[in-house]
Amino acid sequence: MIERGLAVRGPRSLLRQIREALAGGGPAQGRLDKVVQIIAVSMVAEVCSLYLRRASSDMELFATEGLKPEAVHVTRLKPGEGLVGEIMRLGRPINLSEAPAHPSFSYHPETGEDPYHAFLGVPLLRGGRSIGVLVVQNRTARIYEEDEVEDVQTIAMVLAEMVASGEILAAAELKDVELAPHRPERLKGMKFAEGLAIGVAVLHETPVAPEKLLADDASEEALRLARALQLLRQQIDEMLAGSHGLVGQTFEVLEAYRMFAHDRGWNRSLEEAVRSGLTAEAAVERVRSEQRARMSQARDPYLRERLHDLEDLADRLLRILAGETPGARELPEGAVLIARNLGPADLLEYDRTKLRGLLLEEGSSASHASIVARALGIPCVGRLMGLRDRVNSGDPVIVDGEIGEALLRPRTDMIEAVQARAAVRDQRRAEFDRLRDTPAFTRDGTKITLLMNAGLAVDMENLEVTGAEGIGLFRTEFQFMVAEELPRLDAQTALYERVMEAAGDRPVTFRTLDLGGDKVLPYLQAEREDNPALGWRAVRMGLDRPALLRMQLRALIAAAKGRELRVMFPLVATVEEFRAARALVDKEIAWAQRRGRPIPAKVRVGVMIETPALIWHLDALLPMTDFISVGTNDLMQYLFAADRGNPRVSDRYDLLSPPALRALKTIGDACADTGTPVSVCGEMAGRPLEAFALVSLGFTRLSMPPAGVGPVKAMVLSLDGGAARRGFTSVLKSAAGSVRNEIETLARKLNVAV
């Protein structure tokens, strides 16, 4: 049986030997050779080799003990070649008893590795990226034991930091070794909020890099880690209990946090890393890198999504170890925020005067962060795979929210091209500004009312800027999502008063709380649901918890005092639900009258058409309502049974398809027959081509994000409504899955500015 020197002396002893060898001076190659020799002796390995990745992505043999020395700097492996390439691709160890029998084995005769059978290779991970591979080999065919693998991983982690910091090789000696991304890259994603931005990358919740890797006192580090883990679990338990709300985080994410924070495997990995001689901070980084490399390769989308939870968990634990408390963060001028994902309150914590753009590795156009970004006019691109591993803090970046791309470390010509496009965009914006006070009439005289969507008090500034004629949708739940506890009656009333005062004589339509689904608050108790989008949410929650809904209605009534109050209920699926909701409005009006409180001059109660069921019960619904608002975001995802937040299915349907357009026409025709005012307040109302379709279908009230008002008004002013309606007749009869191309052709034929 082979006696293992490392098992006796421990990783700390080995790492000290490595540091002493590096401090001894002499040529860089000689010091590097000494390092692999020390590792080989300590591991009782006959071969120890270090490969580093060049900027070309080739893996180069930089040092070896046991293979032929003349192979150093000569042996190079192409990307994905051999076992070393496979380790780089997978980002995890490979442990084999018969390496030559493996299908990925690549033989290089100049190395002289013919006699060696046992093979253990681990990646040098830095920031989740593999920058090299450390290999040990033996003649005897055997599988290396689990603790041996962990020891080599610990060594590889420290070597990665040493290489990156220049302790092993000076900058000149590293030449083109790719320690971090440095070449220009173009990443294709999805546009979440339109616009163009050029700035510098700022990583959201950047991991606190451990300054000290080796522990002086292993028992003290174990105690520090135990205390930090206990505090971490306590914080998360408090969030879920409602005593300490974490703004912008959903119940599902918090549950995942708690699950991982209490996970025995995660805790045990951290404890073992500390026992190996690392500081608590270095242990967190090692375990994080291993998890990131492993889970990023997972095929299961659920597991890949959980990587975000693990990242945030590790960040929070590092902050606790550093004695910090997560909170508001400063930004440099011209910052572009880089994140895997983001909650709405997380985005609001940053100084919006310095924030130029937002790039997300995950997310969706319907996510809360995307909605907030659009409301604040911040260009945002998401679904950028591998973003965080391809960008460094301080890198120049471009957010292209027009075509859904991110340009990392762009060349000068790329920057100039985007600046030219931005100048054109500014000119168009100037044209839209000139149209601000121009009424939106079609060329044949039909008035189109253009309204704005809002959800934050700051949004009201955009009324004057855009020239919108009112607020067609005020999302009241945002106030609840950015609060650490349930907003009280007076706080709700104060917000609604500010909104109405800012609107002046322009109408404001308040949507009651649309909570549930992906908007469950940490301070409200809720049960996990298998399908929350179809579960207990919106008006259903309000009717089942009437105290919550009645408090909001009471605040709205108090805030109106003499003004017109427009209130509508979301996700109504049956006529009975609307009848019950409207009865609560009547009760609150009566409550205020009995106490002599001021009441609105007029109350108009509407309903959002978001469930397909109501389309076939409009004859019973419309006589009960004062107005209708079509929420195309939810209506279409339910119509097509495709989650709009799931990138795998969200593009399976087109809003400009015959089924979608026929459903909208059915609603519009029914409202026209009964004289019921109707508006469209989904995202499609703010895009010129889609808005062209809506006007052609007969809709004359559109509510949209602020950025959409100018472009849609320009479209309306160029449109002959009668000609558009006549041209649309054939479009609706199409058997195609999408009629987008036909609508674009019709718009060009009619010279419509889309």
CATH code for 435-447+643-680+682-754?
3.20.20.60
Check residue 527 and give its pLDDT. 60
**CB atoms inside a 10 Å sphere around CB 170:** 9
Same CATH topology for 435-447+643-680+682-754 and 470-631: the answer is: yes
φ, ψ at 452 (rounded to 5°): -125, 145
Nearest CA to 178 among 135, 130, 127?
A: 130
The residues that bridge with 297 in the sheet, in sequence order, are none
CATH homologous superfamily, domain 185-205+328-425: Phosphohistidine domain (3.50.30.10)
Check residue 466 and give its pLDDT. 87
The answer to whether the predicted template modeling score (pTM) of the entire model surpasses 0.75 is: no
- Determine the Cα–Cα distance for residues 656 and 654; give it in Å rounded to an integer: 5
Check residue 181 and give its pLDDT. 55
At the top level of CATH, the class of 5-174 is: alpha beta
The residues that bridge with 96 in the sheet, in sequence order, are 119
Check residue 260 and give its pLDDT. 62
CA distances from residue 188 to 384, 396, 406 in whole angstroms, order as listed: 6, 17, 7
* Spatial contact of 211 and 283, defined as CB atoms under 8 Å apart: no
* Spatial contact of 717 and 711, defined as CB atoms under 8 Å apart: no
φ, ψ at 401 (rounded to 5°): -80, 5
Residue 667 carries which side chain, given as an amino acid letter? I
Q: Any idea which residues carry the catalytic annotation? A: 368, 681
Residue 265 carries which side chain, given as an amino acid letter? G
Check residue 345 and give its pLDDT. 47
* Spatial contact of 193 and 401, defined as CB atoms under 8 Å apart: yes
Residue count of the chain: 754
Check residue 528 and give its pLDDT. 61
Domain ranges of the chain: 5-174, 185-205+328-425, 218-321, 435-447+643-680+682-754, 470-631
The residues that bridge with 118 in the sheet, in sequence order, are 138
Check residue 246 and give its pLDDT. 31
At the top level of CATH, the class of 218-321 is: mainly alpha
CA geometry: angle 61, 66, 72, nearest 5 deg: 25
Check residue 641 and give its pLDDT. 85
CA distances from residue 567 to 168, 490, 625, 627 in whole angstroms, order as listed: 67, 19, 11, 10
Rg, the chain, Cα only = 31
- Determine the Cα–Cα distance for residues 524 and 535; give it in Å rounded to an integer: 16
* Spatial contact of 128 and 289, defined as CB atoms under 8 Å apart: yes
Q: Which residues of the chain have pLDDT under 70?
A: 1-12, 22-25, 55, 127-128, 165-182, 205-211, 236-261, 292-312, 324-329, 343-346, 348-349, 365-369, 375, 389, 458, 481-485, 516-533, 535, 644-648, 650-651
Check residue 665 and give its pLDDT. 95
Residue 118 carries which side chain, given as an amino acid letter? A
Fold of 470-631: TIM Barrel (3.20.20)
Nearest CA to 277 among 222, 207, 322, 318?
A: 222
Question: Given the structure tokens 């398809």, which residue do they identify?
Answer: 657
* Spatial contact of 338 and 203, defined as CB atoms under 8 Å apart: yes
Check residue 1 and give its pLDDT. 31
